[in-house]
Structure 1
């Protein structure tokens, strides 16, 4: 029979190996003999071994070879005993963090072990951080939505923190929104915005994912009812055949741009406002959507519109006759406008168009409110029907 005698340090490592054998992860603080410090000591590092790979993490402690032997002896005392106690705490913390991981990787261990300082002292602070970034990217519509969301949340409950976002609070907010006369669609918009920032906080390790309040068997964001938003052939024909008063400036402009939206592949008003003279060709209009310009800056996808008589008439009637190659086709926005000015002007243009088109719809006996969104949705529906 062979007898093997272990030193206490080796025995300690063996015990850890046995204890964590199921995951094949070895946790131990040990001297890093590869790096000798100027004071003749060696840095004590937390060593994690997994499937033959090792990672070393600083502990802030160091020791000479002799001190390391004393630290691991039963006679340790004084300052070295304090170091040993801290080492035990570090190893215990590492083992506890590893036990919480469903799938181990060195990166996931680091994310769990090294706790992040609190970056957001309030819920408003994470919203403001996101709003600044959105404004920098000129995503003004989304920035406004974020501002409205945090204002409504703080009207519901002031001084909220990320840690306050629970299933209970979300249910209470939902009920509060209903008592204020808001639709489930509006509630959904606000809470999808909030969810976006909770997800961001999880990535930044500012929110514990085990307390995630959204999803199945938790709080489910209302989707709202899906109303019919497309017109049939007869309704579309009635709008295109409608004879308006030639003296009514806003009515004629609204009709022209509503038809333009429908015929130009369901183009939205922001893209219409940003069309430039250089985008116009003899038989086509070629442009990049404002949305995709941000997400695909290197190679934005271009959209081609086939010009027809009505599109040409709209450009001739409502376009900028003296436009140079880089000028806007229509006088909806100007080059000197800020991103906020552009958003406000386009929103106002859409509002006026929608107001007049709703009046046209009533005159034609169409129950559905006729808006630019309906024009775009009707174009999409027509494409689906054509296959």
Structure 2
């Protein structure tokens, strides 16, 4: 649900001593603000009526301007419905009358991506940017109009990606991103819905093979005699730390601080799902944290610098490069011990669940440990969560 409210922003005064009247938008506890374009002295604001007091010489005109913009924003929010995003809303209320004529696919995408980066939605921004770059590279021009994105172009693009060795799920990811951008352009009145080219395009995904290794495979990796503090050894230790932390993602590990360690547990919110986790810190993980410790570091692991802006594009790129490098060395180590499929940074999560299943634990308990829904989501609301001691016992059994 999206809430909209008009208020006087008294947090900071302008150079002339006046304050901006703003629109505060709240969605899922996230707060965004839009400027009304009107600023007044504090004495002229009627907080009870949420409007400019009639004592202001231009009260009627300014209140009308604010009301009109309020309803414009409200209408855009209703149109966006479940697809609401602050980036899309800002574009829809853009007062430039020529935007529909001048906005190309790249122009619209660039603005959308830029706004995502502004609010630290860097993950989606990178995905959108990659899809846009790939389509324009195939098209052979720096830009194209939305009218040029038709069935023939998309069908040829899909064939081109397939011929270049991309798997079906990668192709689907590109197409979902391009379709999302196109749908946002329709909402923003950049292109008419009658031009929609995706109705006849199949965007299907294939079930991926499970990326899990056995306990014996992990033991083989642990027994490798690697050069101390080499990149290969550090890569293996990062993988093992993730496994010892119930398959914690490498992104979440990168952001861990000392404040996340509370009473012998790792308490954190997963960045991908925003779910809270409480994981027992067993000796296996404690040893690795100590080995990775760097004096004066803000983070528990030496992945991000202290001055990194969390969830920013720069931090995201550093983590992506770290994961890429780690996967390169994990692949070499997998080949060295003769594993049938290479270990990756994501394997630890699959492996934790698979090993727990082979040890006889229930799907419900494993789902609880990994933070997944099991069975019917509505039914799960009425079920008690498992006791922490039960989860800890399974956790210890899996990693021991």
TM-score (norm 2): 0.59
Match of 2:214 among 232, 238, 243: 232
- Does 1:354 pair with 2:318? no
Q: RMSD over aligned Cα, in angstroms?
A: 2.5
- Does 1:333 pair with 2:317? no
Alignment of 1:1-387 (within 5 A): 118-119=99-100, 121-157=103-139, 158=141, 159-215=143-199, 218-224=200-206, 226-240=208-222, 242-292=223-273, 301-322=275-296, 327-338=298-309, 339-382=312-355, 386=361, 387=363
Secondary structure at 1:290 match in 2: coil
CA distance in structure 2 between the partners assigned to 1:308 and 1:199 by the alignment: 47
CA distance in structure 2 between the partners assigned to 1:151 and 1:227 by the alignment: 28
CA distance in structure 2 between the partners assigned to 1:168 and 1:244 by the alignment: 55
Secondary structure at 2:279 match in 1: strand
Secondary structure at 2:266 match in 1: strand
Give the deviation of 1:270 after TM superposition.
Answer: 1.5
Secondary structure at 2:277 match in 1: strand
Structure 1 residues 201 and 341, CA, compared in 2 at 3 Å: closer, same or farther?
closer
Give the deviation of 1:383 after TM superposition.
Answer: 5.4
Secondary structure at 1:287 match in 2: strand
Is the Cα–Cα contact under 8 Å of residues 210 and 350 in structure 2 kept in the other structure? no
CA distance in structure 2 between the partners assigned to 1:161 and 1:208 by the alignment: 13
Secondary structure at 2:346 match in 1: helix
Q: Please give the per-residue CA displacement for 1:63-97, whole angstroms capped at 9, x wherever unaligned.
A: xxxxxxxxxxxxxxxxxxxxxxxxxxxxxxxxxxx
Is the Cα–Cα contact under 8 Å of residues 266 and 379 in structure 1 kept in the other structure? yes
Is the Cα–Cα contact under 8 Å of residues 230 and 378 in structure 1 kept in the other structure? yes
Q: Please give the per-residue CA displacement for 1:184-204, whole angstroms capped at 9, x wherever unaligned.
A: 333222111101112212322
Give the deviation of 1:123 after TM superposition.
Answer: 0.6
CA distance in structure 2 between the partners assigned to 1:243 and 1:235 by the alignment: 11
CA distance in structure 2 between the partners assigned to 1:311 and 1:265 by the alignment: 10
Is the Cα–Cα contact under 8 Å of residues 188 and 224 in structure 1 kept in the other structure? no
Give the deviation of 1:246 after TM superposition.
Answer: 4.7
CA distance in structure 1 between the partners assigned to 2:195 and 2:126 by the alignment: 28
Mean alpha-carbon deviation: is it higher for 184-193 or for 303-312? 184-193
CA distance in structure 1 between the partners assigned to 2:301 and 2:271 by the alignment: 16
Is the Cα–Cα contact under 8 Å of residues 149 and 194 in structure 1 kept in the other structure? yes
CA distance in structure 1 between the partners assigned to 2:295 and 2:135 by the alignment: 48
CA distance in structure 2 between the partners assigned to 1:280 and 1:320 by the alignment: 16
